Amino acid sequence: MSVQRRPTMYDVAALAGVSHQTVSRYLRADPTVKVATSTKIKAAIDELGYRPNLTARAMRTRRTGVVAIILPGWTGPERTVEAACAEAQRLGYQVEIVIGVDEDPAALSRLADDILGRGQVDGVLSVTPLTVTASGVVVQTDEFDDRLRAVEAVAADEATMEEIVEKLAALGHREFFHVAGPQDWRSAQLRRSGYLKACERLGLRSHGVYDGPWHPDTGVAAVQSLPDDTPVTAVVAASDHIGVGVLRAAFDRGWRVPDDLSVTGWDDLTLVRYGTPALSTVRLDRETSGRHGMRRLVAALRNEPEPEPLRAAPTEIVFRETTAPPR
């Protein structure tokens, strides 16, 4: 039986016509490697099917070459994670996805402590707020990081929520209800603040704020808490998952959307575009956030300067079939 030998870094170097040290620099995403040289190396890697030997690297550097992405189960981070994984692989890292069954930040922080403490990974990229005590590198994506003010920075959430309420008011709505996310999340805090500010500034009547996890059950429970004769005509949900729960509960109560009730979400998850009715929501650039978060993590692991903060890109409010003027 013949066993095909795995291509090595030296094979890549020979095919690309460069030194193995240059290939090593390329795999570390060293910015001093010229574009033309990078192109040749990438072509050689693709032709040979080369993959870095992470076991050998771990023995040599005492690093695993693995990073973890920690996420709770109901935040809808698929696009962020997909982009972060692609960026990690480009930079020469494997990725472990760790999904917590409990989205409570304290429980997820303990999970991160355990992973780092046992040396399973070199670092953690989190798309949920964490407080980690174990030694190790932890980077949070910009959705939860006020310091960066990047594409998905929650600093813009307050203003975006105000704009949603303004657009609903322009349709004629005056009676509002907000279904918020968990208030230990900065994004949920700012969306709630934007909602309340807009109601006060525009002279609108808020019939309350219902807090809960990022889960459809929160939307269901919130709508069930409203009286049968509620004057509410617009429900503003802090996430698409919550918004889907609002739609379900409205249907169960015989309230037509958008005839009796307008509903908005937040995240622009793929499935809500195809629901009946299609959910009005906020579209975010999660891909850029995921890539940038992974670059920050890898830079920290390599003791390199942190990447430049990204310029804040505007969110886009998309009104679909769940919003209309009140009757």
Longest dimension (CA), the chain: 80
- pLDDT (mean) for 168-193: 93
Rounded alpha-carbon distances, angstroms, from residue 72 to 105, 152, 210, 213, 298: 9, 18, 21, 11, 22
Query: Does residue 145 have a pLDDT over 60?
Result: no
Domains observed in the chain? 9-51 (1.10.260.40), 62-152+286-301 (3.40.50.2300), 154-284 (3.40.50.2300)
Residue with tokens 């006060």: 200
Query: Does residue 152 have a pLDDT over 50?
Result: no
For 200-210, how does the pLDDT look when each residue is reduced to its tens digit (9 = 90+)? 999 999 999 99
Query: Does residue 308 have a pLDDT over 80?
Result: yes
Q: Which residues of 211-235 are buried (b: 16+ CB within 10 A; e: fewer)?
A: bbbbbbebbbebbeebeeeeebbbb
134 token code pair: 């174990």
What pLDDT shows up at residue 167?
A: 98
Query: Does residue 155 have a pLDDT over 60?
Result: no
Rounded alpha-carbon distances, angstroms, from residue 56 to 59, 270, 300, 303: 5, 40, 22, 21
Task: Tell me which DSSP letter residue 174 carries.
Answer: -
Predicted TM-score of the model (pTM): 0.65
- Higher-confidence position of 233 and 300: 233
Query: Does residue 64 have a pLDDT over 80?
Result: no
What average pLDDT does the structure give for the chain?
84
For residues 293 and 291, give the distance between their C-alpha atoms in angstroms, rounded to a whole number. 5
- pLDDT (mean) for 68-95: 76
The pLDDT-based confidence of 53 (bands split at 50, 70, 90) is low
- pLDDT (mean) for 165-179: 98
